[in-house]
Amino acid sequence: MKHGKGKFIWSDQSTYDGDFQQNNIHGVGEYVWADGRVFKGDWVDNRMEGRGVFSWSDGRKYVGEYQNDQKHGTGTFTWPDGRCYQGEWYQGKQHGKGVYIKEGKKRHGVWQMGKRIEWLKDDKAIDQ
């Protein structure tokens, strides 16, 4: 039974290096998938849970909170071209208030399940 700190390598060459509890990934650790994705952060019973950093081999990156393997809470997602979303997440999608940054310009808005539904100015809705 895996328990304590250690490293595990799967047959596809994915790896986990970190804490185990009663054979589960549990605690703090880094999981590297065979395709180059990496998550470093908090784990509970084999799921990303708490704070962490997820990065993709194409340069995308998310830094923030997770719940049940999904972006959930507050976090920042950055694209390789420099665009950025900072704000609220729900079940893996942008949801609630956030700030979208593109070419140095910030726009405040409201998102619902991954889609922007309005831009805000001083917390009041303005035309899209």
3-state secondary structure 15-67: EEEEEEECCEEEEEEEEECCCCCEEEEEEECCEEEEEEEEECCCCCEEEEEEE
pTM for the full predicted model: 0.92
Q: What is the pLDDT along the chain (128 residues), one digit of tens a residue?
A: 999 999 999 999 999 999 999 999 999 999 999 999 999 999 999 999 999 999 999 999 999 999 999 999 999 999 999 999 999 999 999 999 999 999 999 999 999 999 999 999 865 554 44
What 8-state DSSP symbol labels residue 122?
T
What 8-state DSSP symbol labels residue 69?
T
∠ Cα 73 75 78 (to 5°): 150
Closest CA to 109 of 100, 96, 123, 119: 119
